Amino acid sequence: MVGVILASHGGFADGIHQSAEMIFGPQDNFKSCILKPDEGPADVKRKMEEAVASLDNQDEVLFLVDLWGGTPFNQASSLVQAHQDKWAIVAGMNLPMVIEALTQRFSVEAAKEIATAIVPTGNEGIKTYPEDLMPVAPVAAPSEAPAQNGGTIPEGTVLGDGHIEYVLARVDTRLLHGQVATGWTHTTHPNRIIVVSDTVCHDKLRTSMIKQAAPNGVKVSVAPIKNMVKANNDPRFGDTRALILFESVEDALAAIKAGVEIKEINLGSSAYKEGKVNVTKALSFDQTDVDAIKELQSMGVKFDVRGVPADSPANINDLIKSAEKKLAEKK
């Protein structure tokens, strides 16, 4: 696995390192080095050398630094000089770029190849809100006119095998947020994220905020359960790789009972509120939740209990037992 080393002036690199692991989970061969205000070039170079020495694979190393031409860049460059055939540096580090680098190294074994791949992601991570504040890039004249205008796919058309591929169905009170938009999206590669909720679909503000959080290149929809059932049965969605998000296990149960063909649920988070008991840091259940989980299990639905892809899954049956014991003690 390619080693990734973050370097910056001040605590920036440490902060991005922590943020990346919060979203993507703990990572091996992933280090950060910072240049403190009272330190000089030799200090940060020594830290970089120690970081390299701690990597399992020192043949392939990628440095992500804050500024081109700054001291961290210059010291990383002095180290790369002796390994120009394999090592690489990318300046202008941001969080989307770092997460993309961590994702790329699951399938790419060359630091230089990863360096090339993450630059577009770093650029695409820069957006404004309102969106019309983004500068407009000049549009080159097209070499030829498009073959036809886009439009609605005719009813009855069958795309792919005519069935939605559910790459992930997740219960998460927060719905679309960093762990989903980056960690899970990069792991499951959906082309559409669908928030399925009979309440959120009527909340214009929440719907707008969810759509603004869309990862690059992935469409986001908010739909009531009945519309999700229609999409599930519509062959025009046969080329869809869908990541489905539910606010609660009750919503997931209602959708599956209505005909949405989901066989496994990733249980990510369930916020605490009055009447619930904590079973993990991220999960709180009441008796309604427990009953819904048991009913889903009786229908053959499996549970994958973890917040981010790198986490070790928890045992859902142990969590149910813990919840039932704590709920009984509250009576």
Active site (catalytic) residues: 9, 177
Separation in Å, CA 143 to CA 139, 146, 149: 12, 10, 16
Alpha-carbon distance of 23 to 49, in angstroms, equals 27
**222, β-bridge pairs:** 195
The residues pairing with 245 across neighbouring beta strands, listed in sequence order, are: 170, 195
> Amino acid identity, residue 310?
A
User: Please, where are the H alpha helices in the chain?
Assistant: 12-24, 41-53, 71-80, 95-104, 111-124, 178, 185-188, 204-212, 225-232, 249-258, 287-298, 316-330
Angle at which helix 249-258 crosses helix 225-232, to 10 degrees, equals 40
Provide DSSP, 87-123. -EEEES--HHHHHHHHHHTTT---HHHHHHHHHHHHH
Residue 152 · residue 230 · CB < 8 Å: no
Label residues 196-213 b or e (16+ Cβ within 10 Å = b). bbeebbeeeebbeebeee
Give bridge partners of residue 33 from the DSSP assignment: 7
Selection from 149, 133, 184, 160 nearest residue 234 by Cα: 160
